[in-house]
C-alpha cells in the first residue's frame, strides 16, 4: 500500500559549503570544502587554534520566515535568538520550501509533525555566558556571600536555563511553522539523524501524521573541541581521512539539514518531487563504552544486516559509512562491512571530508547530499584519501564517477554504542 510507503520530498541543507541544496551540491561536485582555521580567545588572548568546517551565515528573514514569529521568540527569550535555534529554523524552512508541502499552520488539527535532533542545543552559548557573567559578578564583589551569589546567578540565568531543555527547541520550531502533529526530540549521539528518519517514518506509517520534518544542526562547541582534542580524536591538520593509512581524527562541521518525509500516497496525490523512498533501517545499542566501540562485538554488524533485509535482496549501488577518520572507528566499521558483504562490496564513499563531522546532525546533512547524488547518478569522491589502509579491505571511490544508483545504504556508529544503517531507494 502506498500509504505504508514513506518517501522524501524535501531537503534543506546548510553547511560550510553552501546554503540550500543547489549551493551544497555544486560544491560537492567540484570537490570543495569550507574548511577554515579558527581561533578561540579568552580575555582577548588567543587560547586555541583549530580547524573547522564553518557554516555560512544567513538572516532568518531572508529565508522568508515571518518577522512576527521571530519577534515572538525573542520576546520570550528576552534576548536574540541563539545560533542553534536560528540554524534549526533555517534548515526546516529550506526543506519546507523545497517540498512545497501545503498545510494550514493555524489549524491545530493539522497532522504535520517534527522530529528534531541535536546533541546539546544551546549549551555552548550557555556555558560561555555563565563563565563570563559569573566571573564579572565575583570580580566586582569579592566579598559576596554564597546566598547573594545564588540570587544574582539565578536572576540572570533562570529563563536561559529553562530554555536549554530540549522540548523548548522543539516547541519554538513547531510554533514557528505551525506544526501541530505528533513530534519528538531525539538525541542518540552521532547516529541521531538515522534514528530521526526512522521515527518520522514510523509516525507516518502509524497514521499519526501526514508528513514529518526530520531536522537537526550542530555548531561549534569550544568545550567539546577541548575534550576531543584532549582524548586525541581531533585532526590537528584539519583533514578527515576516512579509512586512510594516515587517518588521525575528525574535524567539526557546522550546519545540518531538514528532511521532509510523507507517505507515497500523499506525495503522488499532490504530484510532489520524490527524491527517494525511505525503506527503513536496522538499529542497535551496543552499550559497552562511551568513546570506544567493542571491536570484538557484532552489534554494528547486526544493525547493517537488519537494514539490508529492507533492500529485499536487491543490489546495493552505494554504501556510505560513518567515516569519521579515527583509527578505532574506521576499523570497527570496516569489520562490520567486511563481515556482512565479504569480498564483493558495493562502491563505498564517505562524505564527512566535504562538510566535517556534524555530530548529532551528520546523518541528516549526509542524507540530503545523498538525495542529490541519487538524482544525478553521481558517486562523490572520498576526499583526502591518498593511501587507503589495505588492512581494512575498503575499496573507496576516490574519484567522483557517474553510475546508475538505485539503492543507497547510509551507516552510522555513534558514541555510547548507538548504531544505525538505513536504506534509500529510487522510485522508478
Q: How high is the pLDDT of residue 46?
A: 65
Q: How far apart are CA 342 and CA 322, in angstroms?
A: 19
Statement: residue 409 has pLDDT above 70: yes
At 313, the pLDDT band (50, 70, 90 cuts) reads confident
Q: How far apart are CA 375 and CA 354, in angstroms?
A: 19
For 176-191, what is each residue's pLDDT tens digit?
999 999 999 999 999 9
Q: Give the containing element (helix H, strand E) for 71.
A: helix 67-77
Neighbours of 232 (CB within 10 A): 11
**Distance spanning both ends of the chain, measured CA to CA:** 16
What is the DSSP annotation of 28-52? HHTT---EEEEEEEETTEEEEEEEE
- Decide: helix, strand or coil at residue 287: coil
Q: How far apart are CA 106 and CA 93, in angstroms?
A: 17
Q: How high is the pLDDT of residue 312?
A: 87
**Bridge pairing between strands 18-19 and 35-42:** unpaired
Mean pLDDT, residues 222-251: 94
Task: Give the closest residue to 413 by CA, choosing from 349, 356, 297, 333.
Answer: 333
At 124, the pLDDT band (50, 70, 90 cuts) reads confident
Statement: residue 221 has pLDDT above 90: no
Cell representation of residue 180: 501541530
Question: Is the distance from CB of 397 to CB of 321 less than 8 angstroms?
Answer: no
Task: Give the closest residue to 364 by CA, choosing from 12, 102, 2, 129.
Answer: 12
At 41, the pLDDT band (50, 70, 90 cuts) reads confident
**Between 192-205 and 362-376, two packed helices, what is the crossing angle to 10 degrees?**
70
Residue 378 phi, psi dihedral angles, 5° rounding:
-130, 125
At 48, the pLDDT band (50, 70, 90 cuts) reads confident
Q: Give the containing element (helix H, strand E) for 25.
A: helix 21-29
For 415-428, what is each residue's pLDDT tens digit?
999 999 999 999 97
At 348, the pLDDT band (50, 70, 90 cuts) reads very high
Q: How far apart are CA 220 and CA 233, in angstroms?
A: 16
Residue 256 phi, psi dihedral angles, 5° rounding:
165, -155
Q: How high is the pLDDT of residue 314?
A: 87
CB-based burial label for 274 (10 Å; 0-12, 13-18, 19+): middle
Cell representation of residue 135: 566571573
Tell me which of 42-46, 349-353, 393-397, 398-402 is least confident. Answer: 42-46
Q: What is the CA radius of gyration of the chain?
A: 22
pTM for the structure as a whole: 0.96
What is the DSSP annotation of 377-394? TEE---TT-SSB-GGGT-
| Share in percent of the chain as helix, strand, coil (round to 5) | 40, 20, 35
Question: Is the distance from CB of 228 to CB of 234 less than 8 angstroms?
Answer: yes
For 130-152, what is each residue's pLDDT tens digit?
888 888 888 888 788 888 888 88
Q: How far apart are CA 411 and CA 403, in angstroms?
A: 20
Domains (ranges, CATH) in the chain?
2-122+164-425 (3.40.47.10), 126-162 (no CATH)
Q: Give the containing element (helix H, strand E) for 263.
A: strand 255-263
Q: How far apart are CA 390 and CA 388, in angstroms?
A: 6
Amino acid at each position: 500500500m502506498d500509504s505504508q510507503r514513506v518517501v522524501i520530498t524535501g531537503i534543506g541543507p546548510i553547511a560550510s559549503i553552501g546554503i540550500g541544496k543547489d549551493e551544497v551540491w555544486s560544491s560537492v561536485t567540484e570537490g570543495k570544502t569550507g574548511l577554515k582555521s579558527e581561533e578561540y580567545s579568552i580575555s582577548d588572548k588567543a587560547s586555541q587554534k583549530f580547524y573547522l568546517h564553518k557554516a555560512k551565515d544567513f538572516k532568518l528573514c531572508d529565508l522568508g520566515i515571518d518577522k512576527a514569529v521571530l519577534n515572538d521568540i525573542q520576546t520570550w527569550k528576552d534576548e536574540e535568538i541563539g545560533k542553534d535555534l536560528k540554524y534549526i529554523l533555517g534548515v526546516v524552512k529550506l526543506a519546507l520550501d523545497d517540498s512545497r508541502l501545503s498545510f494550514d499552520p493555524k489549524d491545530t488539527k493539522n497532522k504535520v509533525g517534527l522530529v528534531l535532533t541535536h546533541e546539546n542545543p544551546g549549551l555552548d552559548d550557555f556555558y560561555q555566558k555563565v563563565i563570563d557573567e559569573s566571573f564579572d559578578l565575583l570580580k566586582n564583589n569579592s566579598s559576596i556571600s554564597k546566598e547573594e551569589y545564588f540570587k544574582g546567578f539565578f536572576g540572570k540565568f533562570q529563563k536561559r536555563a529553562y530554555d536549554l531543555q530540549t522540548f523548548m527547541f522543539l516547541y519554538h520550531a513547531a510554533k514557528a511553522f505551525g506544526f501541530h502533529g505528533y513530534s519528538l526530540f531525539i538525541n542518540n549521539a552521532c547516529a541521531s539523524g538515522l534514528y530521526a528518519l526512522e521515527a518520522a517514518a514510523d509516525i507516518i506509517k502509524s497514521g499519526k501524521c501526514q508528513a514529518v520534518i526530520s531536522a537537526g544542526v550542530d555548531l561549534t562547541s569550544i568545550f567539546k573541541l577541548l575534550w576531543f582534542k584532549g582524548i586525541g580524536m581531533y585532526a590537528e591538520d584539519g583533514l578527515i581521512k576516512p579509512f586512510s593509512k594516515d587517518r588521525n581524527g575528525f574535524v567539526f562541521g557546522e550546519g545540518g539539514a531538514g528532511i521532509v518525509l510523507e507517505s507515497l500516497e500523499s506525495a503522488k496525490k499532490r504530484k510532489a518531487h520524490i527524491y527517494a523512498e525511505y525503506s527503513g533501517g536496522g538499529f542497535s545499542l551496543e552499550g559497552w563504552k562511551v568513546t570506544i566501540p567493542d571491536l570484538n562485538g557484532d552489534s554494528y554488524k547486526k544493525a547493517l544486516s537488519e537494514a539490508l533485509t529492507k533492500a529485499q535482496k536487491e543490489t546495493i549501488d552505494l554504501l556510505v559509512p560513518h567515516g569519521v577518520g579515527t583509527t578505532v572507528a574506521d576499523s570497527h566499521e570496516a569489520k562490520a562491512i567486511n563481515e556482512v558483504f565479504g569480498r564483493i562490496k558495493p562502491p563505498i564513499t564517505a562524505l564527512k571530508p566535504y562538510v566535517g563531522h556534524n555530530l548529532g546532525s551528520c546523518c541528516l546533512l549526509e542524507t540530503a547530499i545523498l538525495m542529490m547524488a541519487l538524482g544525478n547518478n553521481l558517486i562523490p569522491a572520498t576526499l583526502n584519501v591518498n593511501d587507503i589502509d589495505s588492512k581494512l579491505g575498503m575499496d573507496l571511490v576516490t574519484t567522483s564517477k557517474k553510475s546508475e544508483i538505485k539503492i543507497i545504504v547510509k551507516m552510522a556508529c555513534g558514541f555510547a554504542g548507538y548504531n544505525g544503517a538505513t536504506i534509500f531507494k529510487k522510485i522508478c
